[in-house]
């Protein structure tokens, strides 16, 4: 089976072809990069309307060159969650392509796709998943035919919380990679000045650390980091402290999720998962409790159509396709709304 995937929930216009037999994924992406500030929904939608036809065309041309005129067996698209104006463009493109190619249409939940790509690439049987993305942050675990939300942010997504600080100090979007670079710089400088060791930790700012049971909150830390910048605290020190606090919160809740479910596998998903420090903290936590940890390669972590095509193929194989009349997008589509049809034959 070969599935054409289309992604466009917010900033990344992307198309992919997944060949299930070869387990190969071709991804073509075109990101929206705002001139200043964060993601503007109208500008993002304008970007989608220009970029989606181009990335789809690139993938279809490559697919037809390799496999001939019947290269695509199904079209999968991200149905939500995401920005409504962007999702509607993706939905329209997917419906019209499925009609033109005369193949089934598959509606994929974007957050379940972030999880399933980790499960697919790792070969893990029944992991807990930490989705650390821009607009979301939650722990998912599989139980009785659904992915259950075990814990989640009570306010902002983790990437959005980090980007809020970088916007405040005037850095361009996306802020996450810049915070990571500044934090690394701070740790290296502190270590050099102190002759090695954990000197940076001694300089950690005391920021709000809010974990309530399985849920967590980032709004207090966003205000505190912005205030610290206004008071003239060194920006690299703030970046270092921001990362240490936010990622420790995510690691704490991930560990609790493993403990509560009895799972011994953790997969990581979402754009923030590209961060070395987050992966390091989770790997250390997993090793300490004898659990396996896996984060897919970066092209499958940030928003991408590869993960949509891979999950789309599993859904199509399970007969989980959509009539056009029932294929409306859903900006608030939660992962626990999805009946997990494609795991029916599995033992867990």
Residues near ligand ATP (CB under 6 A): 9-11, 82, 110, 133-136, 157, 159-160, 162-163, 174-177, 180, 270-272, 274-275, 302-303
Task: Give me the DSSP letters along 287-322.
Answer: HHTT-EEE---GGGTSS-HHHHHHHHHHHHHTT---
* Residue number, 10 or 315, with CB nearest to ligand ATP: 10
Q: CB under 8 Å to 148, separation ≥6 — which residues?
A: 140, 141, 142, 336
Phi (first) and psi of residue 347, to 5 degrees: -80, -20
**In angstroms, what is the minimal distance from the CB of 78 to ligand ATP?**
9
Alpha helices in the chain (DSSP H): 41-67, 84-101, 110-122, 158-168, 176-193, 199-202, 219-230, 235-261, 276-288, 305-317
Strand order in the sheet with 2-7: 24-31, 12-19, 2-7, 74-80, 105-109
**In angstroms, what is the minimal distance from the CB of 102 to ligand ATP?**
31
* Residue number, 222 or 274, with CB nearest to ligand ATP: 274
The torsion defined by the Cα of 91, 53, 96 and 8, in degrees rounded to 10, comes to: -10
Residue (of 37, 30, 25) closest to 11 by Cα position: 30
**In angstroms, what is the minimal distance from the CB of 70 to ligand ATP?**
32
* Residue number, 10 or 281, with CB nearest to ligand ATP: 10
**In angstroms, what is the minimal distance from the CB of 131 to ligand ATP?**
7
* Alpha carbon 258 to chain centroid, angstroms: 20
Task: Give me the DSSP letters along 248-295.
Answer: HHHHHHHHHHHHHHT--EEEEESGGGG-HHHHHHHHHHHHHTT-EEE-
* Residue number, 165 or 342, with CB nearest to ligand ATP: 165
**In angstroms, what is the minimal distance from the CB of 35 to ligand ATP?**
16
Q: Which residues pair with 140 in a beta bridge?
A: 129, 149
CB of 279 closer than 8 Å to CB of 273: yes
**In angstroms, what is the minimal distance from the CB of 252 to ligand ATP?**
18
**In angstroms, what is the minimal distance from the CB of 185 to ligand ATP?**
14
* Residue number, 163 or 236, with CB nearest to ligand ATP: 163
**Pairing assessment for the beta strands 2-7 and 12-19 based on DSSP bridges:** antiparallel
**In angstroms, what is the minimal distance from the CB of 208 to ligand ATP?**
19
* Residue number, 60 or 301, with CB nearest to ligand ATP: 301
* Residue number, 72 or 156, with CB nearest to ligand ATP: 156
* Residue number, 91 or 176, with CB nearest to ligand ATP: 176
Residue (of 24, 29, 31, 33) closest to 6 by Cα position: 29
């Amino acid at each position: 089976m070969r599935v054409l995937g289309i992604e466009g929930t917010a900033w990344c216009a992307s198309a992919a072809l997944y060949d299930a037999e070869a387990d190969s994924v071709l991804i073509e992406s075109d990101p929206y990069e705002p001139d200043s500030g964060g993601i503007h929904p109208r500008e993002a939608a304008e970007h989608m309307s220009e970029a989606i036809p181009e990335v789809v065309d690139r993938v279809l041309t490559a697919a037809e060159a390799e496999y001939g005129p019947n290269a695509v067996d199904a079209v999968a698209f991200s149905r939500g969650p995401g920005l409504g104006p962007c999702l509607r463009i993706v939905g329209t493109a997917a419906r019209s392509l499925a009609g033109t190619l005369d193949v089934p249409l598959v509606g994929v939940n974007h957050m379940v796709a972030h999880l399933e790509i980790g499960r697919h690439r790792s070969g893990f049987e029944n992991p807990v998943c930490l989705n650390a993305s821009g607009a979301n942050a939650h722990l998912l675990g599989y139980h009785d035919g659904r992915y259950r939300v075990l814990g989640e942010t009570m306010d902002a997504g983790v990437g959005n919380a980090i980007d809020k600080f970088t916007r405040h100090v005037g850095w361009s979007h996306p802020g996450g990679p810049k915070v990571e670079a500044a934090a690394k710089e701070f740790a290296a400088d502190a270590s050099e000045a102190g002759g090695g060791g954990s000197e940076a930790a001694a300089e950690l700012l005391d920021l709000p650390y809010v974990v309530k049971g399985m849920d967590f909150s980032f709004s207090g830390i966003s205000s505190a980091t912005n205030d610290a910048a206004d008071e003239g605290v060194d920006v690299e020190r703030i970046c270092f402290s921001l990362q240490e606090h936010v990622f420790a919160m995510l690691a704490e809740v991930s560990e609790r999720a493993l403990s509560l479910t009895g799972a011994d596998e953790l997969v990581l998903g979402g754009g923030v998962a590209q961060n070395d420090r987050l992966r390091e903290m989770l790997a250390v936590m997993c090793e300490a409790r004898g659990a396996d940890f896996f984060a897919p390669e970066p092209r499958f972590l940030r928003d991408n159509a590869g993960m949509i095509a891979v999950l789309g193929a599993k859904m199509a194989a399970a007969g989980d396709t959509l009539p056009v009349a029932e294929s409306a997008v859903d900006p608030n589509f939660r992962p626990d709304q999805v009946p997990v049809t494609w795991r029916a034959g599995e033992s867990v």
